[in-house]
Every structure is written in C-alpha cells, then in structure tokens.
Structure 1
Amino acid sequence: MIDKSKNLPAVLVVEDEPLIRMEAVDMIEDAGFKVYEAGSADVAIELIGKHDDIGILFTDIDMPGSMDGLKLAAYVKDRWPPVAIVIASGKVDFTVMKVPEGSTFFPKPYPTDKIIKALGDIAQKLA
C-alpha cells in the first residue's frame, strides 16, 4: 500500500494509444501520484525538461515519432539519471531488449496491482 501522506514523485506516462494512456493515468492517479502524460517520446522529453518533480517514467515501447520507448528510456536515464524507468509492452520480448539498468518491465495488459506496488516501492527508494 502506498503512503499517500508522503511526497510522492510525479509519474510521466508515455503511451501513444489514447484509451490505454487514459487507463494508465487513472490507475496511477488513483494510487495517489501526480501524473503527466504524453503521446510520444518527443512530448515526453519536453515535459520532463519542464517538470522537475517527475521521478518515474512509465513508457510503452511501440510508439511513432523520433524514438520508441526503449530509446526514450535510455535517453532519460542518460540525461536524468535519478528518474526511475518502468517499461510496458504487449509486443516485445523483455529477455531480448536492451533496457537501462534498474528498469522494471511489465507485459500488457497492465497488471494493475503489480504496477502500483512497483511504483510504491520506487517512490520509497526515491524518498
């Protein structure tokens, strides 16, 4: 269970499918986190540069634009090392992906309880 009385890091949700993004945002907000949302890596990079309260990147892998979720995760880890990375995908085999060290992976459809627990664990480590 997440202690909502603590100052939780904001979560940046990056998902190109609007309905899936909306569900993810609702799930994470319901757990007590402030959430920013982006439909592409380009918008995500713009948001993370503007909001220093973002402590967790929650991204899909398959996205249109200049980079996919894996490249976005690597970019964020390189540019903003303290930001925790959570990656979700329904199409990619995690065992063959090159993800930033310390990243967490979840298959789609989202296992809500496991994602919320992981976000809570990350928030405790960042506190």
Structure 2
Amino acid sequence: MNNFRQKTVLVVEDEALIRFAVMDALEDAGYAVIEASSVLEAIGQLGQHEEIDLLITDVDMPGVLNGIDLARMVAECAPRISIIVSSARSVKEDLPASVYFLPKPCSAAGLLSTVGTMLKARGHADGEIRRQRA
C-alpha cells in the first residue's frame, strides 16, 4: 500500500502578484496549493480542506485580523498544521513556538527550503507520536 500523499499548502497573501509567485513556486515543486487573500477567507479554506499540511501567511492583511492572529488560531486549533509567517518588517508580537518566521523578500529557493524543512520536521514529529501511541 502506498501512503504517499501530495502535501497541501495554504498560501494567505493579500498582494496578488506575491501570492501567485509563491503559488507557482510551490506548484512547480510538486505541492498542492490552496489560496486565500484574507484571514477570513483562509479560515473558510481551513474549514473546507482537512488535508492542509502547511500554512504560509503574510502578517499585514486586510480586515480586523492579521496573519499573526491566524497563526495563533491555527497553532491552537489545528496543531498538526505547520505554520510559516512572513513579513518585510520585523514582528514585535510573540509567535507561537511552533511557528517559523520567514523574512521578506525571500527567494523561491529559500521559500522551498523552508517549506521542505517544516514539512519534514512535522512528518518526523507525527511519526514519533504514532510510535509512542503504538
């Protein structure tokens, strides 16, 4: 039996050109990609897609909630999802310990390296949990 499943990434970015560039890089690397342009849209996508493995979110988003609010919610409610928060400015708010901060601008290679590292670390942690339960 083949347990391979394409990893799914939710990209939350309000700047369309940046969102499309990130999505293209991820899709070219073999990831399934879901997009959202606001925190509320991202919450809807999270509710519709149980298969999301990784969230990449910008900090500054339109509306009342920002990317840090989204990262905190996902870390609390869906701890199995890896989280990358990205911004061109320094983040003064505390991020959950499991969240990785990726400064902008970032090359496609840097993004893909970080994504791969986050997913590999999460996969290893999930495997440890499964072994401990067995």
Shorter-normalised TM range: 0.7 to 0.9
- Cα shift at 1:122: 2.2
Which residue pairs with 1:43 in the alignment?
A: 41
User: Residue 88 of structure 1: CA displacement?
Assistant: 0.8
Q: Using the alignment, how far apart are the partners of 1:111 and 1:88 within structure 2?
A: 12
2:86 and 2:103 in contact (8 A); partners too:
yes
- Amino-acid identity (%): 37
Name the residue aligned to 2:129: none
TM-score by length of 2: 0.83
SS at match of 2:102: strand
Equivalent residue number for residue 116 of structure 1:
112
Equivalent residues of 2:75, 2:98 under 8 A apart: no
Residue 28 of structure 1: CA displacement? 1.0
CA distance in 1 between counterparts of 2:79 and 2:118 reads: 14
Structure 1 length as normaliser, TM-score?
0.87
Match of 1:107 among 103, 106, 111: 103
Aligned residues: 120
- What RMSD over aligned residues (CA atoms) do the two structures have, in Å? 1.3
Return 5+ residue gaps in structure 2 as ranges.
124-134
How many angstroms does 1:111 deviate by?
A: 2.5
Kindly indicate whether structure 1 or structure 2 has the higher relative contact order, using CA contacts under 8 Å at least 6 residues apart: 1
Find the structure with the greater CA-based Rg.
Answer: 2
